[in-house]
Amino acid sequence: MIRAFASDDRTAMLAFAQGLPEHDLMFLGRDLRHPRVVDAWAAAISDGDIDSLLHEDEGRITGSAALVRDPLGWSGHVGEVRVLVATAARGQGVGRALLAAIIRTAQNHGLKKLTARMTPDQSAAIELFESQGFRGEALLKDHAIDRQGRLHDIAILSLDLEREAVRQTAFGMQDA
Instruction: For residue 47, give every residue at least 6 positions away whose Cβ sits within 8 Å of its Cβ, in sequence order, or none.
Output: none
Higher model confidence: residue 108 or residue 146? 108
Maximum CA extent, the chain: 49
Q: Residue 2 pLDDT > 80, yes or no? A: yes
For residue 37, the model assigns a pLDDT of 87
The pTM (predicted TM-score) of the whole model is 0.89
For residue 174, the model assigns a pLDDT of 62
Look up the CATH number of domain 2-170: 3.40.630.30
**If you average pLDDT over residues 58-84, what whole number do you get?**
92
**Dihedral sign of CA atoms 127, 16, 103, 69 in order:** negative
Q: How many CA atoms lie within 13 A of 11 on its CB side?
A: 2
